[in-house]
Structure 1
Amino acid sequence: MSAQAEGVSPLNSGLEGLRVAISAGASGIGRAIADTLIGYGSRVHICDVSDEFLADFSSAHPDAGASKVDVSDEAQVDAWFDEISASLGGLDALVNNAGIAGPTGGIDEIDPAEWRRCIDVCLTGQFLCARRAVPMIKAAGGGSIVNMSSAAGRFGYAYRTPYSSAKFGIIGLTNSLAKELGPSNIRVNAILPGIVEGPRMSGVIQARADQVGVSYEEMEKTYLDRISMRRMVTNQDVANTVAFLFSKPGESISGQSIGVDRNVESL
């Protein structure tokens, strides 16, 4: 007897026609999530701050919604969700993905304005998106939210205190919302990517190397040596996890902080 006949849902079941909002969805992890969900038949509306990346996304997915939004700006977030309501006719799921690296430096070297900017984008932006998404998801009868945290939200991150503090805050936001929204049939989880290969991580490694006075290659090896599998994760690894959490096989998972990190031991 097949798994299907035994009542086991395929891993992509429930994704067809799913209405999903994705912040920072035009590049990196967000773009991989958008591409993956669209490939499974979901209806997607993204936002981003880059005109270049938005144009590339719209060229690849002309039927998907795409808006220019700074998630730290309440008015822009409100406008985005008004556009989502018009384009999708409702909402079933949210990916709170937008974030910035923030400054690298000792606590006595960090500009308070850079601290505030990092918290505003990485943490307050998730609050602003969730406060607009939740009533729409409730109206749909329930759904799912994925908040993008980081391994830095589990281990701490020397010389990256604004970023790490925001990512720890996202865990608190996730756990609180999971308890608050469970009775409304809304699941809320956090994904904690580890060291994700790509230009953003390369910039982080270079900044850390400069901070401690070593070469890029030395610092990259230091990062890789902290991963038991000795290699970085990919954007697609994270996207696959989001797709699972939104699917029927993931419908019992809520209030969890899920590491997608190849067993990173520290940062």
Structure 2
Amino acid sequence: MPTFDLLKPAPGLRVLVTGGAAGIGARIAEAFDEAGAHVYVCDVDPAAVAALRAAHPSIGAGVANVAERESVDRLVDDAAAALGGLDVLVNNAGIAGPTGSIEDIEPDDWDRTISTNLNSQFYVLRRAVPLLKASPAASIVAMSSVAGRLGYPFRTPYASTKWAIAGLVKSLAIELGKDGVRVNAVLPGLVAGPRMDRVIAARAQALGIGFEEMKAAYLAKISLGRMVTESDIAAMILFLCSPAARNITGQSISVDGNVEHL
């Protein structure tokens, strides 16, 4: 086999992507599908799930709220049944959380961010890891953020969860190494699209400035001066799940154009 064929995930991988019916998650699912994997996604939005099914009949999909344990239990059972097992878990589901000063953040908004971004990762892992241990090509990718390596004022709930994911990945890589299960995190920077526009708008409102001024301030913090795309993130995840990455585990890998500070 030519060396660079190792950069492609093996055809037939059984892949579960949480939060996979729209945005970054959908692009990840599409990329695996294009690479010949068998893919199952979940999403909390029934309309997004229906749209993905219509656009990509080869991708299995179901509605699930990953912040709820019972919903996750059903999800993993359904995915395992549809796929016949599991080789790759992409723990992608998450929310932006509130924007504001720490003293102004509502406790319910804090709790919702922790539940959706962090607790959900545990709920899926506790059910998926036994399946992954039975795979000869097991890989877990957890979605963190550039906010998981930098301080992020006015976005403390979000940043706290993303820092926690880095610790989760490092610990699990040690725990699961003996089983041949690799565990890594991907840290996207500013990803062009509607979600980033909403984040910029919320931050601009919190600071009392205009949207374009706030956007320019964000771009000025990136060494390459541009946002990344959903496809950039998907490409890194495909690489991490390929044979070329067989000795990469326990890492938090930024795909962000080098965001210098937030």
Check whether TM > 0.5.
Answer: yes
SS at match of 1:259: strand
Aligned to 2:203: 208
Aligned to 2:38: 43
Unaligned 5+ segments in structure 2 are: none
Aligned counterparts of 1:225 and 1:106: Cα–Cα separation in 2 = 23
Unaligned 5+ segments in structure 1 are: none
Aligned counterparts of 1:113 and 1:26: Cα–Cα separation in 2 = 26
Aligned to 1:112: 107
Letter in 2 for 1:12: K
Q: Percent identity?
A: 50
Cα shift readout 1:162-204 (whole Å, capped 9, x = no counterpart): 0000000000100000000010000000000001111010000
SS at match of 2:175: helix
Letter in 1 for 2:13: L
Alignment of structure 1 residues 1-267 onto 2, 5 Å: 4=2, 7-14=3-10, 16-267=11-262
Letter in 1 for 2:232: D
Q: Determine if contact 2:43/2:49 at 8 Å carries over to the other structure.
A: yes
SS at match of 2:142: strand
TM-score (norm 1): 0.96
Q: Determine if contact 1:23/1:97 at 8 Å carries over to the other structure.
A: yes
Cα shift readout 1:186-244 (whole Å, capped 9, x = no counterpart): 00000000011110100000000000110000000000000011100000000000000
Deviation at 1:52, TM superposition (A): 1.8
Deviation at 1:61, TM superposition (A): 1.8
Q: Determine if contact 1:24/1:30 at 8 Å carries over to the other structure.
A: yes
- CA 1:99/1:13 → structure 2, altered by over 3 Å: closer, same or farther? closer
Deviation at 1:63, TM superposition (A): 2.7
Deviation at 1:31, TM superposition (A): 0.6
SS at match of 2:62: strand
Count matched residues. Answer: 262
Deviation at 1:13, TM superposition (A): 4.3
Letter in 1 for 2:162: K
Consecutive aligned runs of 4 or more in structure 1 exceeding 2 Å deviation: 7-10
Aligned counterparts of 1:206 and 1:45: Cα–Cα separation in 2 = 33
Deviation at 1:62, TM superposition (A): 1.4
Aligned counterparts of 2:26 and 2:132: Cα–Cα separation in 1 = 22
Deviation at 1:142, TM superposition (A): 4.8
Aligned counterparts of 2:53 and 2:4: Cα–Cα separation in 1 = 35
Q: Determine if contact 1:34/1:44 at 8 Å carries over to the other structure.
A: yes
SS at match of 1:44: strand
- CA 1:197/1:8 → structure 2, altered by over 3 Å: closer, same or farther? closer
Aligned counterparts of 2:256 and 2:171: Cα–Cα separation in 1 = 24
Aligned counterparts of 1:12 and 1:84: Cα–Cα separation in 2 = 23
